[in-house]
Structure 1
Amino acid sequence: MQPQIIVVGLGSGDPDQLTLGVWKQLQAADKLCLRTDRHPMVAMLQANGIGYESFDALYERHDSFEEVYEAIAGDLLAAAKASSAPVVYAVPGHPMVAEKTVQLLRDRCPQEGVALQLLGGESFLDQAFLRLGFDPIEGFQLLNGTDLSVHSLNPQLHTVIGQVYDTFTASDVKLTLMELYPDDLEVVVGHALGVADEERIHRIPLYELDHLQDYGNLSLVWVPRSDEDRLRNRTFARLHEIVAILRSPEGCPWDREQTHQSLRKNLIEEAYEVLETFDEADPEHMAEELGDLMLQIMLHSQIEAEEGGFTVLDVIGALNEKLIRRHPHVFGDMQAEDAEDALQNWQQIKQEEKRQKGVDPAELSVLSGVPRELPGLMKAYKLQKKAAAVGFDWTRLEEVLEVVESELAEVREAIAEQSFKEQQEELGDLLFAVVNLARFLKIEPEEAMAGANRKFFERFGYIERQLRLKGKNFDQTDLQEMESLWQEAKKVLRIDMN
């Protein structure tokens, strides 16, 4: 006879809700195993003289729930193989709701030649729907309190969080929920729902979730669904929806008229406005500017979605796949001891991707891959780095300084010849040489230029403030006074920075 395990559900704890079929199996069992004896139905078993074994001791013996569940499944399989009669395994609630051991048995029984039969029981969800009073057809999700992620949360769905066993788990749940929901949002905690004399329901603000002390095996947290803007506006889905509305016939006339080309300068400007916030101690401003940059990505994606090209979900999907593919030392078996190893892995994978697209990396120019729309200083820097990587570079700093001086002399000659074309060309050569100098000094030229711009802005602002204090404007001063104030600004602002 084939070994057999019969899994039955003990229901939510109300004896009147136990199914007749499950009760018959419990009465007839030669060997009855309980995942835990900490369940209201155990008293009914004891009252009717039904013997059982429980796996509660395994919870003390192992360090994680995963290890406990694996051990339970293993013991059940061994018991079934050693018994001539079916082993009855009873779990709280319904066997197919939040029961990891049952999922393990479903996977392992066919491989080990053990027959598996499942008999339903009332789930704690049945009592949640009844006692809390919501209809799951409105939108519903069940999540695990021991492994809760903010990425699973959707405020437009009723959210029931099970396996909130204690205040430590409740604290983790609270912190995760607070990433999306406001601290004062009312949530509901239910204990032993539907069990006479044991049921307790608390309606509390989210920040008090871990203040309760009566959590146990039959506890859950319910976050009611909501269409409130303050909740929906913190989701990517709402952003996607808003951008689609703006581009719709009923949306904004300006947004409807935009194209990839008309938005080019906006994308660049928003990127630079983000860069400016990196030098400020103002996280709120940075978040705002990052949002403006994200809007540009959403608009370009929406334009393509309307034309049948791709959607923003395609953008996200392609990015996720690329990140996983190019980080095999994180998501695969490859190793990377340091940042240099990681970068080398990245470059090798990029080369392989090109080959898969029919492009031979060996036939590409060494200078390929530098975007043509980059700002001049940044592009010069990247071109020089690529050339230097194959040995086309100066060997000493002194040689670079000589080139800078030589290019400056050629600018002077072009000025003397009064040729605009020559002046423009020689000035470009001088700037290119200065970028080379920055590279040798291991200084990003764009960062150096940004610092110089900020310094000029602050010093010129000092001149403006001092003139206003004197009751003057620029028409009432001269270069000599402004130069004097400039020199004063250099000293004052340097002191302030120190």
Structure 2
Amino acid sequence: MQDQHRYTLDDLLMLMQVLRDPQQGCPWDVAQHWETIVPHTLEEAHEVADAIERRAFDELPGELGDLLFQIIYYAQFGSEEGRFDFHDIVHVLTAKMIARHPHVFPGGHLDSRRQGVAASDVDTSEINRRWEARKADERDSRAATSYLDDIPLALPALSRAGKLSSRASRAGFDWPNHHGALEKIREELAELEAEIETGHQGRMNDELGDLLFAVVNLARHLKIDPEQALRGTSQRFERRFRHVETAVRESGHAIDATDLDTLERHWQEAKRTEGK
């Protein structure tokens, strides 16, 4: 039976205050600081993405709660140092989103509403243009000096590469269509093959990175998220390889003692099964 009492956001904020209390709190929580929580924040964000990818919606409230808890940590650190608190985070976020959505809040405040035009009839290209222009203005107000400013170093490499190339594209540094990105992939692949022949590890590393970056550029032109595309491929690989393992095990053999032709046959079997 579900507990009749439901905790609130205020309860969660109080919980963090108690955990961080030097006298009554938890030693682990008291010892944490800005830098030590960052790895946990990244991990929790990935676990939210993983639950969504697996359509594990029953797990999602818990995973989203774990991610929210990271924000509560930062709010507590800010409060303890007299910098900001959770309510400041909510205020800044709400004000920023209202300002970025003049097509929804034409009066510039939360109570104003667009009249007479359904969301499906709003020009999304104009919305995107205004959104990017407003974000550019926000970067300018922070004394940004480059189109590439404020792209977090801690982003997954594919995501960061995509943001870097997208920002460069806004400055006009881009091919007019995907054909240029495809040609760049062919060029980078040829350069990697040449370095493989030399056996120079450092240059092979550089050329492989260039090839991956070129692939990310192609993904952007095709409007494909490279992180999601690679996650999907990894999931398919895992399913198929597990099928291969099961098939080999059921035949009474060890996978590391099975010839490649047999493994490939089971792999194709797995692909056909997925197709059905």
TM-score, normalised via structure 1 length: 0.49
Contact residue 249 and residue 255 of structure 2 kept, 8 A: no
Structure 1 residue aligned with 2:111: none
Match of 1:490 among 266, 271, 276: 271
Cα separation, 1, equivalents of 2:34 and 2:249: 44
1:371: how far off?
2.3
Q: Does 1:365 align with 2:156?
A: no
Name the counterpart of 2:168: 387
Deviation string 1:139-181 (CA, Å, 9 cap, x unpaired) is xxxxxxxxxxxxxxxxxxxxxxxxxxxxxxxxxxxxxxxxxxx
- Indicate if the aligned counterparts of 1:232 and 1:238 stay in contact, CA closer than 8 A: no
Q: 1:465 to 1:344 in 2, by over 3 A?
A: same
Which residue, 338, 348, 370 being the options, matches 2:123? 338
CA distance in 1, matches of 2:142, 2:55: 47
Counterpart for residue 11 of structure 2: 238
Structure-2 separation of matches of 1:395 and 1:341: 20
Bigger-Rg structure (1/2): 1
> Is contact 1:370–1:382 with CA below 8 Å preserved after alignment?
yes
Is 1:260 aligned to residue 34 of structure 2? Answer: yes
Q: 1:353 and 1:397 mapped to 2: Cα distance?
A: 30
Deviations 1:382-414 (A, max 9, x none): 222222223322234333322211211111111
The separation in 2 between residues aligned to 1:340 and 1:464, in whole angstroms, is 48
Conserved? CA contact 1:301–1:311, under 8 Å: yes
Asked if residue 301 in structure 1 is aligned to residue 82 in structure 2, the reply is: no
User: Partner of 1:280 in structure 2?
Assistant: 54
Write the distance in 2 (CA, Å) between the matches of 1:484 and 1:418: 33
- How is 1:409-428 mapped onto 2 (pairs within 5 angstroms)? 409-428=190-209
TM-aligned CA distance change 1:461 to 1:244, over 3 Å: farther
Partner of residue 188, structure 2: 407
Greater percentage in helix = 2
Alignment of 1:438-457 (within 5 A): 438-457=219-238
In 1, Cα distance between equivalents of 2:42 and 2:274: 31
2:240/2:271 contact within 8 Å kept? yes
Distance 1:276 1:386, change over 3 A: same
Q: How much identity, in percent, do the aligned residues show? A: 39
Name the structure where strand makes up a greater proportion of residues.
Answer: 1
TM-score (norm 2): 0.84
C-alpha distance 316-480 of structure 1, shift in aligned 2 (>3 A): same
- How many residues in Structure 1 have an aligned counterpart in Structure 2? 263
Q: CA deviation at 1:444?
A: 1.5
1:459 aligns with 2:240: yes
CA distance in 1, matches of 2:139, 2:186: 41
The one-letter code of the counterpart of 2:86 is V
Change in CA separation of 1:346 and 1:463 when aligned onto 2, cut-off 3 Å: same
- The CA distance in 2 between the partners of 1:327 and 1:254, in whole Å, is 41
Secondary structure at 1:448 match in 2: helix
Residues 401 and 330 of structure 1: CA distance in aligned 2, closer, same or farther (over 3 Å): closer
- 5+ residue gaps, structure 2: 109-113
- In 2, Cα distance between equivalents of 1:482 and 1:346: 50
